Amino acid sequence: MIRLTIWNEYWHEHHNEIVKSIYPDGIHAALKMGLAGDDLHISTATQQEEQHGLNAEKLANTDVLIWWGHKTHDEVDDAVVEAVQKRVWEGMGLIVLHSGHFSKLFKKLMGTSCDLKWREADEKERLWVVNPAHPIAAGVPEHITLEKEEMYGEHFDIPAPDELVFVSWFEGGEVFRSGCTFHRGQGKIFYFRPGHETYPTYYNKDILKVIGNAVRWAAPSGAAAPVRGNHKPLEPIAVKP
C-alpha cells in the first residue's frame, strides 16, 4: 500500500469562478478521485492548513507527495519546504505538477531558476512519449492531445533530467520537456507539465494514467539508508614513511 498525499495551494479555486466551476472541491479532490486505486491510500493537504498540512507526522507517513502550487509560492513556510526536501532525501517520492516548477521546493531540489517561457492562449498541446520503455509511459498512447492548455516553452532552466519521458508540441510553435525524472538523495522526483487551473486537464484519463504511473514509480524502493560520516577502514592501511 502506497501512502499518497496530494498537496494543493488551493487558492485559484477560491478566487476564480472558472477554476471553481471546473474544480469545485479543489484540484486535490479531483486528483484524489481520479487516482483512486486498490494499492493507494490517498489523503490531501492544502496550504491553508496549519504547517500547510505537512507536519512531521504527516510527512513521515507519506510515501509519495504530489505538489500543485502557483499563486502563493512565496507564502509557503521555509521550514516546511526544508522538511519536505529532507523527506525526499530520505526516499519520499515527489510528483511536481505544472506551475509547481516555480515552487520554492522544486527550485531548492533542482539548484536552478526553473524559469521558462509561458503563454495563456487556449492553445493545443500534444505530449509525445519519447521513452516508451519507461514505466511512467505504461498504457499511454504514443501521444496525448490536450485541446486547450497554457504553453510552457524552452529553454526550461532545469538540470538535464535523468530520464526524459515526454516532450510537448505547442500550437504556437514551441516545444517543452514535459515529463522529466530526477533523483535527489534516495528520493525519486517526476516533473509533469500539464494542468493549468482554468482547464479540466486533471479529468483527462491519459493524464491521470501518467500521474498514477508516476506515483508507483516514485514510491520508495526499500533500500537501506546509506551510512555517512567518519568511517573505519575495511582493509588494513599500510603505515607510510
Q: Are 14 and 73 in contact (CB under 8 A)?
A: no
Can residue 238 be called a binding residue for its own copies (CB under 8 A)?
A: yes
Cβ proximity of 41 and 4 under 8 Å: yes
91 sits near its own copies (criterion: CB under 8 A): yes
Cβ at position 74, least distance to its own copies in Å: 16
Q: Which of 3, 55, 123, 203 binds its own copies (CB under 8 A)?
A: 123
Residue 24 or 159: the one with the smaller Cβ distance to its own copies is 159
Applying CB under 8 A, which of residues 110, 144, 180, 208 lies at the interface with its own copies?
A: 110
- Tell me whether residue 6 or residue 137 sits nearer to its own copies (CB atom): 137
Nearest distance from residue 39's CB to its own copies, in Å?
A: 15
The answer to the question of residue 83 lying near its own copies (CB under 8 A) is no
Minimum distance of its own copies from residue 25's CB (angstroms): 26
Give yes or no for residue 228 binding its own copies (CB under 8 A): yes
Which one of 5, 168, 201, 204 is in contact with its own copies (CB under 8 A)?
168
Q: Is position 39 an interface residue for its own copies (rule: CB under 8 A)?
A: no
3-state secondary structure 54-114: CCHHHHHCCCEEEEECCCCHHHCCHHHHHHHHHHHHHCCEEEEEHHHHHCHHHHHHHCCCC
Helix (H) or strand (E) holding 146: strand 143-153
- DSSP per residue over 4-61, as a string? EEEEE---HHHH-HHHHHH-TT-HHHHHHHHH--TTEEEEEEETTSGGGG--HHHHHT
Instruction: Name which of 49 and 185 has its Cβ closer to its own copies.
Output: 185
Pick out residues in 144-163 that bind its own copies (CB under 8 A).
145, 147-148, 151, 153-157, 159-160, 162-163
Under the criterion CB under 8 A, does residue 57 sit at the interface with its own copies?
no
Is 203 an interacting residue with respect to its own copies (CB under 8 A)?
no
Residue 81, CA distances (Å) to 55, 66, 135, 190, 197 in order: 11, 14, 28, 17, 23
